[in-house]
Chain A
Amino acid sequence: MKTEDNKNISLDVARLVEKARTGNRVSFQELISIFQEDIYRLAYYRTFSQMDAEDLTQDVFEQAYRKINSLNDVQRFRAWIYSIAVNRCNDFLRRKKYLALLQKGSSLEQDIMNTGMNMENSTNERIDKKKFWGLVKVMLQSLSAMEREVFTLRFMDHRKINEIAAILDKNESTIKTHLYRALKKVREHSDVFREYRESIS
């Protein structure tokens, strides 16, 4: 049933992409409404900042709109837009890292503070979320850039291995190897997250 739904969504997306390629703005707007949340989350998982994630989401769709005619296979739209998003985020983080070198103090604490401040919920919830993102950051920082990318796409963005391979333009066995290395490093954290979930539920 779920597979059938996914198939229908893929067909819809392909149809919308075909129309968008002819300059149909309404179709592109529909594509935005389908992928906007996913792309925003993807950007948030990498920047931990609502404002930056929103800016990046805007950039991603602007770039996609300008270059939609360069997409040869309409069936690959999802992988294509994800790869634009991943590249945009990496560019942004590189720039941020470079700027952080010029500034005093670590940006990590500040980022986590901002993450907490951005939340519009109750104080307890805010503290919980702050704590959660703090754990995620520590966990992701223990990984190499590629391991982090593959791990985030698989377990946070919920992409399948073949999709990740298409997004990162690598073969599936390479993705699995990086995933294996990443899991080996973060294994103990998975218990932490389960306990964390039990504690807040």
Chain B
Amino acid sequence: MKVRNHDHLQQEHILWAVIDESELAGEYQQHLRQCPVCKTKVEQLRSGLEDLGEIARQAVPSYTRPVRLPSERVARISQNAGWLPFFGAAAMAGLLVFFYFMGTKTMIPSEFATLQSQESLLEDESLMRQISEMVENPLSEDMYEISGENGIWFDDDFLQFVVPDIQDDFQS
């Protein structure tokens, strides 16, 4: 299609001229070089788009955070990691104290008294058991054996052998 000078470039050609002038057919390129009207149209569109880019560049808020590489962040933590065990120990101790006090504070006083009296009763009971055992068996096991009260039966012949009667001696 031939272009005459009084037939200006159409909108699509103006757009292609902005994108890439070399995409236009030879006669359109030639027309664009010679026609101030079409040249102005292309320049206006181009400058409008340049304005957009320029204002956008200026309107972007400034960058405030520097980029950090991954291991750098790890290293930063490890450099300050000396306090971590102390912090952990302190937190643990704090928790223990907290739970200890919470445990005693949350117990109702009457419950606490009952618990105490139950403990003393058990103690008394155990003492009484020991006393009654001592009453029943006053001697130790060894002494008990010697005393002959541990159920070992000695017959009369044996006793006679160990301790003979005085009367017999007289008779002989």
Contact B69 A62 (CB under 8 A): yes
Contact A41 B18 (CB under 8 A): no
Residues of B within 8 A of A65 (CB): 69-70
Which B residues between 40 and 59 are near A, CB-CB below 8 angstroms?
44-45, 47-57, 59
A44–B49 CA distance with the chains assembled, in angstroms = 18
Could you mark each residue 42-86 of chain A with 1 if its beta carbon is under 8 Å from any beta carbon of chain B, else 0?
A: 001100001000100110011001100000000000000000000
A120 to chain B, nearest CB (A): 7
Could you mark each residue 137-159 of chain B with 1 if its beta carbon is under 8 Å from any beta carbon of chain A, else 0?
A: 00000000000000000000000
A197–B56 CA distance with the chains assembled, in angstroms = 11
Q: Does any Cβ of A come within 8 Å of B23's Cβ?
A: yes
Q: Does any Cβ of B come within 8 Å of A169's Cβ?
A: no
Contact A176 B69 (CB under 8 A): no
Q: Does any Cβ of A come within 8 Å of B87's Cβ?
A: no
Contact B67 A57 (CB under 8 A): yes
In the complex, how many residue pairs between chain A and chain B have their CB atoms under 8 Å apart? 98
Contact B51 A184 (CB under 8 A): no
A193–B46 CA distance with the chains assembled, in angstroms = 11
Q: Does any Cβ of A come within 8 Å of B99's Cβ?
A: no
Give the number of residues in B that approach A within 8 Å (Cβ atoms).
33
Please pick, from B23, B51, B64, B67, the residue contacting A61 in the complex, using a CB distance under 8 A.
B67
The verdict on A132 contacting B55 (CB below 8 Å), with A176-B20, A190-B45, A193-B48 known, is yes
A158–B20 CA distance with the chains assembled, in angstroms = 14
Q: Does any Cβ of B come within 8 Å of A166's Cβ?
A: no
A191–B72 CA distance with the chains assembled, in angstroms = 47
Contact A29 B69 (CB under 8 A): yes
A191–B11 CA distance with the chains assembled, in angstroms = 15
Please pick, from A36, A132, A176, A190, the residue contacting B59 in the complex, using a CB distance under 8 A.
A132
Q: Does any Cβ of A come within 8 Å of B109's Cβ?
A: no
A54–B60 CA distance with the chains assembled, in angstroms = 12
B68 to chain A, nearest CB (A): 7
A191–B55 CA distance with the chains assembled, in angstroms = 14
Which A residues between 12 and 31 are near B, CB-CB below 8 angstroms?
25, 28-29
A184–B140 CA distance with the chains assembled, in angstroms = 117
> Which secondary structure dominates where chain A touches chain B?
helix
Name the interface size band of chain A. 35 or more
Which A residues between 125 and 170 are near B, CB-CB below 8 angstroms?
129, 132-133, 136, 155-156, 158, 161
A50–B61 CA distance with the chains assembled, in angstroms = 7
A57–B68 CA distance with the chains assembled, in angstroms = 10
A138–B125 CA distance with the chains assembled, in angstroms = 91
Contact A28 B48 (CB under 8 A): no
Contact B57 A66 (CB under 8 A): no
Contact A62 B70 (CB under 8 A): yes
Residues of A within 8 A of B23 (CB): 176
Contact B45 A187 (CB under 8 A): yes
The verdict on A133 contacting B63 (CB below 8 Å), with A176-B20, A187-B15 known, is no
A136–B23 CA distance with the chains assembled, in angstroms = 28
B62 to chain A, nearest CB (A): 8
Could you mark each residue 179-195 of chain A with 1 if its beta carbon is under 8 Å from any beta carbon of chain B, else 0?
A: 11001100101110110
B162 to chain A, nearest CB (A): 103
What is B's interface to A at a CB cutoff of 8 Å? 11-12, 15-16, 18-20, 23, 44-45, 47-57, 59-65, 67-70, 72
Additional 10 contacts, C-beta under 8 A, given A57-B63, A161-B19, A190-B52: A36-B67, A57-B65, A58-B68, A155-B50, A189-B52, A190-B44, A190-B45, A190-B49, A193-B51, A194-B44
